[in-house]
Amino acid sequence: MGVFWEAMSDLLAARSQMGVSLAFHIVFAAIGIAMPVLMVVAERRWQVTGDAIYLDLAKRWARGTAILFAVGAVSGTVLSFELGLLWPGFMRFAGSIIGMPFSLEGFAFFTEAIFLGVYLYGWDRVSPRVHRWAGIAVAASGAASGIFVVIANAWMNAPTGFELVNGQAVNVHPIAAMGNRAALSQTIHMTLAAYAATGFAVAGIHAFLLLQDPANAFHRRALQIALLVGAPAALLQPISGDLSARHVARDQPTKLAAAEALFVTQRGAPLTIGGWPDVAVGETRFAIKIPYALSLLAFHDPQAEVKGLDAVPRDLWPKVPAVHFSFDLMVGLGTYLALVALWAGWLGWRRADLAHNRWLMRALALATPMGFLAIEAGWMVTELGRQPWVIYGVMKTRDAVTPMPGLIVPFLTFTLLYCFLGVIVCWLLYRQILRSPAVPEWRRFFMPKGSG
Amino acid sequence: MTLADIVAGVVFVSLNAYALLAGADFGGGVWDLLASGPRKERQRELIADAIGPVWEANHVWLILAVVLLFTCFPPAFARLGTLLHIPLSLVLIGIVLRGSAFTFWRYGAHGDREQRHWGLVFAVASLITPLLLGTTAGAIAAGAVGDTGHAMGEGFYAVYVAPWLNPFTLSVGVFALVAFAFLAAVYLTLEAPDRELADDFRRRGLAAGVALFFVAALVLLLSRRYAPLVRDGLIFAAWAVPLHLLTAAAAVTALAALWYRRWRVARLAAAAQVSLILWGWALGQYPYVLPPDLTIAAAAAPAVTLRLVLGALALGAVVLLPSLFYLFRVFKRVERRA
């Protein structure tokens, strides 16, 4: 233990604590953005069709969302404090520049919490119309609060809206800071990711249950709604990824170089998939390389010059293997989701019975965690890829960290707390899924002819 | 009255709202822990029903205060995060456990016995969090979060522990706890569906109200040694006497109204009492955001940020206040009992 104690510097402990806190919170935040949409769609279908299964679905989803939202709200609170607990240097410098989107996020989150209360507890207290609008308000403010927070993060990647004089920020323009060059691509990418990941996670769970009981009307309807939200987002995500990549290539070349394990600046740069980036030697071994593809993707020109890691001194390199693997993982998982979305869309367009297509159900069940893994990997790319900077080109992470020693203690404490909560949440959701209704009265409609 | 003063005022309004609303939610947890008598389970149900729909919205007042603080007074936030790292981290653990345990308990399953464990975690976290929050506030009021303690070469204890761990800060912690429990009991008398349950919380409210008086006396006594700056403000300033008279009037009214079962009057007076105490603290340390050296003016962000935030606050309030009003009207409207 003593060795471990000393092996971890305070900076590493602070970064790890922030990383764990973000990785934990982002799952609940994404669910908080997308789940209200699923609930609202289910409720609306109930109001239009009068089919009580949709109402049951909306209520059961709401029950799960209540737990996830609460954990998201409290873990988000931890993050807002951790900005000061771990990174006082960052906050002292950046608070007045980039606090604005956080303030707006505060209001959006307020609206979200208020109408979630109305939604969850108001089934018998407000009219169906008001109830539906409360759900819509939750969905809209959830998306808005996510967007505001991502804008603040985008500023760390593309800082603007101030001038640097003797290490101090002057001529501060909070609105210009919010309009930074990374804001648009990052907010689109994250918002789509939230819908894709949540939609596919829900679809995956119900697909898994449909494998055992393809005629279950409850799960069939759930799958339909989840795919309705998740599949379009997963299909749009590669386009948004392209937008992000082009921004990163232009404004954060070192991050792109690390993500692509591109050590040498070159024209007609190849796309590097997998492999082992050997930082000491400066080459990536055992990788699949597609000629000209990186130049083509980053600048839409096969001969374009792509900056390699050699463009900056070694001490400004991020951890190349971690960024590269995370990037490949994100792209791989995203591609899988987009392909499954395409498959499901094709079958749906041909009016096939999705639930009886066992291979599609297997593919969906396999996809359950993939969207969230992709989100985690994507954040690893953007955060690790920015290192050693906390504000790109302006402030190093090590200059932002708190002077308090012994940071391994809070790191381990919060890690244990979150592991504990994560296990409990999974267990509670598992128990709830076990209680899914069988709805036998609908079975005969959904069995293949001759089997009933 | 500068722009920065106005924003500081808004931060404090936000904290005030947090104390009155989320504070009562914590207080509810305390009464859950102390539930007793023949109506034990009904008390717990009442508390959970009262907290359920509103606790997340109530909690956001704290987040609002924090984001306003770090946007408009970044050096103050940075210093708080550094020197009060330990108690603030403990507050966060309390907040996380309280909120999660409450939903695990209420939403996790239907009437399981094991769910009651979560009820217990919720109750204990509700007890500990206000204690630590109060301790943090005590450290600020004591002027212990100053630049002086920051000097290099001092030991870990002197810099990161001593400012918040002494008899005064702990007494403020107990004060916050008792005040929150008092608010909760008073609010619950109004929300109880029948006379017996209301009387359960009437007794609790009266006890907490009297206890609050004694804890306040203890805080004042200890402030002589530990928080002279705020204490002097509270005793010698021009506004001190009227403020104390008002606070005393609110306290007496709250207790008398509880005694005579005027629940609505009691709620108003109790809320006024706690708010007046909070504003006494704020006025006592004005113009410092972190006494003894960091003033509101010195900590303030550039004027452009303050103006934009005030604009956003005005716009946000247009959405927020009607929404909040609606939330409380839906869930807190009490039918008059026969």
Output the six-digit token pair for B94.
């309390």
Q: Which of A103, A120, A413 sits opposite B71 (nearest CB)?
A: A103
Scan for tokens 């972190």, then name that residue.
B290
Q: Report yes or no: B272 and B265 within 8 Å, Cβ to Cβ.
A: no
Going from the C-alpha of A138 to that of each of A69, A116, B34, B238, the distances in angstroms are: 11, 6, 35, 47
**For residue B162, what pLDDT band results from cuts at 50, 70 and 90?**
confident
Q: Is the ipTM of this complex over 0.90?
A: yes
Contact (CB<8Å) B92/A125: no
* Residue A133 lies in domain: 24-446
CB of B287 less than 8 A from some CB of A: no
Specify the 3-state DSSP secondary structure of B298.
helix
Specify the 3-state DSSP secondary structure of A256.
helix
Q: Which residues of B touch A66 (CB under 8 A)?
A: 103, 106-107
B216-238 pLDDT per residue, tens: 999 989 988 888 888 887 888 88
Q: According to the model, what pLDDT value does residue B338 have?
A: 37
Q: Which residues of A touch B304 (CB under 8 A)?
A: 172-174
Going from the C-alpha of A27 to that of each of A58, A75, A76, A167, A385, the distances in angstroms are: 21, 10, 11, 36, 21
In chain B, where the domains are located: 3-332
Q: Read off the pTM.
A: 0.92
Q: Work out how many domains chain A is built from and give that number.
A: 1
B75-101 pLDDT per residue, tens: 999 999 999 999 999 999 999 999 999
Q: According to the model, what pLDDT value does residue A26 have?
A: 95
Buried b (16+ CB within 10 A) or exposed e, A10-31: bbebbbbbbbbbbbbbbbbbbb
In a domain, A411, yes or no: yes
Rounded to an integer, what distance in angstroms lies between the CA atom of residue B318 and that of residue A400? 36
Rounded to an integer, what distance in angstroms lies between the CA atom of residue A257 and that of residue A283? 12
Q: Report yes or no: A293 and A271 within 8 Å, Cβ to Cβ.
A: yes
The alpha carbon of residue A433 is apart from the nearest alpha carbon of chain B, in Å, by 11
Output the six-digit token pair for B310.
């005030």
CA neighbor of A411 nearest in space, from A141, A9, A116: A9
Going from the C-alpha of B180 to that of each of B12, B102, B173, the distances in angstroms are: 17, 18, 11
Rounded to an integer, what distance in angstroms lies between the CA atom of residue B239 and that of residue A158? 49
Q: Report yes or no: B163 and B144 within 8 Å, Cβ to Cβ.
A: yes
Contact (CB<8Å) B67/A102: yes
In a domain, A178, yes or no: yes
Query: Which of A324-328, B209-213, B324-328, B333-337 is predicted least confidently?
Result: B333-337
Q: According to the model, what pLDDT value does residue A452 have?
A: 40
Q: According to the model, what pLDDT value does residue B4 have?
A: 93
Specify the 3-state DSSP secondary structure of B295.
strand
Longest dimension (CA), chain B: 68
B37-78 pLDDT per residue, tens: 898 889 988 998 899 888 888 999 999 999 999 999 999 999
A216 sits in the region (left: phi over 0; alpha: psi -120 to 50; else beta) called beta
Count the helix, strand and coil residues of chain A and give each as a percent rounded to the nearest 5.
75, 5, 20
Percent of chain B scoring above 70 in pLDDT: 94
Chain A's closest residue to B49, CA to CA, is A121
Amino acid, res. A1: M
Contact (CB<8Å) A70/B102: yes
Going from the C-alpha of A241 to that of each of A20, A102, A235, A360, A438, the distances in angstroms are: 24, 25, 11, 25, 40
CB of A117 less than 8 A from some CB of B: yes
Going from the C-alpha of B273 to that of each of A411, B202, B245, B282, the distances in angstroms are: 39, 17, 11, 14
Give bridge partners of residue A271 from the DSSP assignment.
A290
**For residue B335, what pLDDT band results from cuts at 50, 70 and 90?**
low
Buried b (16+ CB within 10 A) or exposed e, B196-210: ebbebbbebbbebbe
Q: Which of B59, B80, B82 sits opposite A73 (nearest CB)?
A: B59
**For residue B148, what pLDDT band results from cuts at 50, 70 and 90?**
low
Q: Does position B19 have pLDDT exceeding 90, yes or no?
A: yes
Q: What is the pLDDT tens value at each position of chain A, 452 positions in all?
A: 445 555 579 999 999 999 999 999 999 999 999 999 999 999 999 999 999 999 999 999 998 888 899 999 999 999 999 999 999 999 999 999 999 999 999 899 989 999 998 998 888 889 989 999 999 999 999 999 999 999 999 999 999 999 998 888 888 899 999 999 999 999 999 999 999 999 999 999 999 999 998 888 999 999 999 999 999 999 999 999 999 999 999 999 999 999 999 999 999 899 999 889 988 888 888 889 898 989 988 999 999 999 999 999 999 999 999 999 999 999 999 999 999 999 999 998 988 888 888 999 999 999 999 999 999 999 999 999 999 999 999 999 999 999 988 999 999 999 999 999 999 888 888 888 877 777 776 666 666 555 44
In a domain, A378, yes or no: yes
Q: Report yes or no: B83 and B163 within 8 Å, Cβ to Cβ.
A: yes
Rounded to an integer, what distance in angstroms lies between the CA atom of residue A58 and that of residue B136? 42
Q: Which residues of A touch B301 (CB under 8 A)?
A: 95-96, 99, 172
Contact (CB<8Å) A413/B93: yes
**For residue B185, what pLDDT band results from cuts at 50, 70 and 90?**
very high
Contact (CB<8Å) A117/B67: no
Q: Which of A74, A80, A109 sits opposite B100 (nearest CB)?
A: A74
Q: According to the model, what pLDDT value does residue A447 have?
A: 62
Contact (CB<8Å) B109/A431: yes
Q: Report yes or no: A223 and A207 within 8 Å, Cβ to Cβ.
A: yes
In a domain, A72, yes or no: yes
Contact (CB<8Å) A406/B156: yes
